[in-house]
Structure 1
């Protein structure tokens, strides 16, 4: 292949990199949605209203480990870190290596860890980072479009990994997530946030103390 042909072949990649840099996190998020629409679920990150309302019930003073599934480009990460105690930890789990690579460069807080993996393996991931249980788990994964068996596996593993008194926080664009949660969480609070694209359903599944 001649140098001219190599240059022509490399041009689309150079343009792509320039566009991504210009768009910043939106460019990374958009590419992630295009590549993995089933796993990302939405083309637009959550609104600040959704973030504020979703995190409001968390008892931050007693939160030592917060876990997030499908963090994307970190829309929730900084708000969680802003609220987390100095001795707390945030572990985010995503199957998209582009998102994980972006997050590892974006967040330098020592309390932050980005893991390339499946939410179904949350128990092993939590233990491998020196924890027994999580206080809260947040998920924006699109349960209604996950491959067969994956949603139930994630819901079951999440229930097991959450400490008593903790909660599973879920935001979705359809109400189907409640079906997966209700198999394990007897008490589920719910609200809806209209100032979001699209409007989303919000659920808090509490692991009540015996």
Structure 2
């Protein structure tokens, strides 16, 4: 079983420092609550999933919960743009099933190919789509839909409800729930992939 060496206090301080530097990239001053994490991950079939992708893992709050639950043969690929978070994850989450990519979610397809995968079973994201340029948001959503297995899903948590209509354009079916026990309260979405022509 994996273990983390970074303390919860270290995680919180690093997250808060980076929120102050990049508030539009994080969206919240503290990591996600256990209620949000449980509400999101209940839609993930850990017995079946072998390739899981996470965009913007930050200090690994959701990452570590995924690693605790996922199959011993599964792979978790996290894609993070922030230098501090990439370093923190590589130094503090020593699980061989974890692969940390320093890059953009828009590169999900090539990053999967580098590791020998054609597709992913699930993708998870809390990156703030509402603050992105529209063309970047559309590109990430389209590429995520393209790499998901037909039985997979894109699990998204956001603090703004505006992503709903963009998910509906890019994916086959989208369902939404609300998690009030988080700071701030969050919208949770499950987007099932649309067939790619």
Normalised TM-score (structure 2): 0.92
Unaligned runs of 5+ in 2: 1-6
Match of 2:104 in 1: 118
Q: Is the 8 A contact 1:143 1:151 kept in 2?
A: yes
Query: 2:177 is matched with which residue?
Result: 191
**Does the 8 A contact of 1:168 with 1:204 survive in 2?**
yes
Q: How do 1:1-210 and structure 2 match up within 5 A?
A: 23-207=9-193
1:11 counterpart residue number: none
Distance in 2 between residues matched to 1:209 and 1:97, nearest whole Å? 35
2:170, 2:194 within 8 Å by CA — same for their partners in 1?
Answer: no
Separation in 2, partners of 1:22, 1:204? 28
Q: 1:202 Cα deviation (Å)?
A: 0.3
How far is the alpha carbon of 1:209 from its aligned partner? 7.5
Partner of 2:3: none
- Which structure has greater helix proportion? 1
Q: Is the 8 A contact 1:165 1:209 kept in 2?
A: no
SS across alignment from 1:61: coil
Q: How many residues align?
A: 191
Normalising by structure 1, we get a TM-score of 0.87
After the TM superposition, which parts of structure 1 deviate over 6 Å for at least 4 consecutive aligned residues? none
Q: Distance in 2 between matches of 1:37 and 1:152?
A: 21
List runs of 5+ in structure 1 lacking aligned partners: 1-20
- The structure with the larger Rg is 1
Alpha-carbon distance between aligned partners in 1 of 2:134 and 2:81, rounded to the nearest angstrom: 17
Question: Could you tell me how far apart the structure 2 residues matched to 1:64 and 1:23 are?
Answer: 31
Residue by residue over 1:111-152, the C-alpha shift from the partner in whole angstroms, topping out at 9 and shown as x without a partner, is 001111000111011111111100000000111101341111
